[in-house]
Chains A and B, each alone.
Chain A
Amino acid sequence: MARALIKVPPKAKRGEVIEIKTLISHIMETGFRRDNVGKPIPRNIITQFTCTYNGEEVFRADLHPAIAANPFISFFTVATESGTIAFEWTGDNGFQETGSAKISVE
């Protein structure tokens, strides 16, 4: 069970550009390392991150092994209406994690 931290401003003016910050705990094993007996450690990374605003996709990222452990992603979106901003991380070995935050727009 991975832990995700999400930072979304709770309130915003209509049309304001807001910054969203996300951090999720994940090893992001590259698949290029070996363990202490020389056996290759299989790849285990998050491959995709998606952010939807009231169901509509506003940001998506494809991640590669070059992304550091515990992926941090920050980006921007326009505060259009009150509602829910949802986040989804998917990855190797059926990894899936979701999170969400409420925003009220005046």
Chain B
Amino acid sequence: MNDLIPFLLWLPLLGAALTLAAGERVRLQRAISFTVSALVLAYGITMLTLTSDGSVVVEQVAGWPGGIAIPFAVDTLSALMITVAALLVLASTAFAVFTGDDEDRYFLPLVLVLSGGVYGAFVTADLFNLFVMIEVALIPSYVLITRRGSASEMGAGRIYLTVNLLVSTVLLAGVGLVYGTTGTVNLGELAGAATESVGAALAGGVVLVALGAKAALVPVHSWLPRTYPFASVATTALLSGLLTKIGVYGIFRVYAVMFSGDERLQTPWLVILLVTMVVGGLGALGESAMRPILVFGMSSQVGYVLLGIGFFGELGLQAGIFYLVHNIIAKGALFLTCGAVEHEEGTGELSRLGGVARREPLLALAFIAAALSLVGIPPFSGFVAKFSVARAAAIEGEWIAVALVVAVSLLTLLAMMKIWNGVFWGADPDEADHSFAPGASGAVPDHTDPMSSTLLRRAKVAITEGPPGGMPRGLILPGLALAVLSLVLGLGADVLLGLTGTAAQGLVDPSAYVIAVTDR
């Protein structure tokens, strides 16, 4: 199967070219997109079964000998990430079909290029190639964020572009420094390099800082809540599950291979990650709209995922990787359900929403399931994830970490309750607004006033579609599917825990990875 690894990169790129050629024929574009993502998903699952015994599949691209070629390597961690990423791309694409995002003929090609870059980043075993893959994934995201060209979107896009470009430049400089100090950028050749020389450790540190900024760790997290909520709802779901997770994956891989999980760095890591958890949790509470709450929460979750790095051991990493898989799925479900509300109601402000649970019980069910999963309530996957993180911390004797894992869960619970009470529960805000409807429907929309456009939209809904409600099933199903998957992963956690255990072994002892990549 190793010959097929480069397919992960060029199949989405080929798909992007074909969808571009398909032009205005939206159905053909959709067919190509879904076929490509489904093929990648099938390949990811195949690789997962092949690598579940801890073996590593490597393709030395173009047949150059190991050490000279730019290798692609798939181990359990990579295969897991590819599978989950492909799942999220499928769900987000399905969602975009129903929100109408894909009527823009450039939307699906951009999503395909982005997904290709993400898969490439998950399988590359070369630091410079990691930089290139991150760029391949980022450039479509620049366009996706600024695609509609509205003032607030351009403002957010400006921050997003400059921050990510700066971080990419730092990453590139870090890769250059790694080459200058060690003479190679092949991850296999770099094994343990940072423990042997101070120069290599500093160079690797620059790479880790850049990856940490991509993953939105505190104190370099503040770009995230200022940019993601402004994109279209489908785009936010896609970016949240894929782009920040490249940074997380990169930290796992680089720290495990290059630094061999250096013990001297455990305390700084713990401090950064615990502060990230707390700041993200508190920041989410301070927001007043659905997506900003969820996006701020992402920082907090990244803290949980990487906490295993702070006590580099098999248990902690197993918990972290499980948490990563759980988080992509549960967070994706939350973004898709909240996005469905936002798409239908025209706003994400908690104060202007309410009573959605009465009108859309199925959507509310999907949201509450995903929210409980994120908080860590059994029987959802979040419980297993949080329990194993807390257990690993307790076994390592990091009691402050245990306490914060539990305390920040309460903050997450509060944030989720805030959305539940503001959006799904309570009175229907439409009743108050209906008095404006006749006037607004005949009036010229005032583009400077955000309220009037919402009222106009509501008025249109009221006139053309009768009473509110009757959300298209297609808007509900992608989120519901991910929420159900989170439940399944919680009930059948043994299988996933086994896989993440193998992945964690591969990080604690990367010798199999190193031997396979360097081909010795």
A and B associate in one complex: no
Residues of chain B whose beta carbon lies under 8 Å from any beta carbon of chain A: none
